[in-house]
Amino acid sequence: MPTFNADVPILVVDDDEEDFFMIEKAIRNSQIMNPVLSLPDGRELMDYFKGEGRFSAPESAPFPGLIFLDLNMPRMDGREALKAIKADSKFKKVPVVVLSTSRAAEDVTGCYGSGANTFVSKPDDYGELLEIMKTTKKYWLEIAQLPS
């Protein structure tokens, strides 16, 4: 029985439009039907959380159920955004999956130290990305019990 509400949005925070397209395609091909929202950097994510800028209307920023977060982005990178998310009592319980091209041990250690729930290196192959999304669906959307 699914534990994840299909109306709850999934945020993909990534400055690379092609990466977003591939991630969204893999999400859809994994039969995840939740709304998927694209944010280009950590600053936009903070605006989303605070209901500021283009997210000033409450309906434009529904509470997310899962965040895919890239690390290397302009304005506010994923490392800074992760710390801000996990420091906020309202949003710190939202699962954050760091999805980055980085394979550096210091990034993995640093992200887990800042509260990341999972760290996954972006694969070069779409088939591998699809498998990651299928596994994500199985674990985060079907098995894990998340706070409401």
Domains of the chain are 10-141 (3.40.50.2300)
The predicted pLDDT at position 129 comes to: 97
What is the DSSP code (8-state) at residue 54? G
The predicted pLDDT at position 92 comes to: 93
Q: What gap in Å lies between CA 5 and CA 8, rounded to an integer? A: 6
CA dihedral (55, 58, 61, 65) in degrees, to 10, reads 160
The predicted pLDDT at position 1 comes to: 40
Bridge-based pairing state of the strands 36-39 and 66-69: unpaired
**pLDDT tens by residue, 64-106:** 999 999 999 999 999 999 999 999 998 999 999 999 999 999 9
The predicted pLDDT at position 4 comes to: 67
Q: What gap in Å lies between CA 92 and CA 86, rounded to an integer? A: 4
**Weakly modelled stretches of the chain, pLDDT under 50:** 1-2
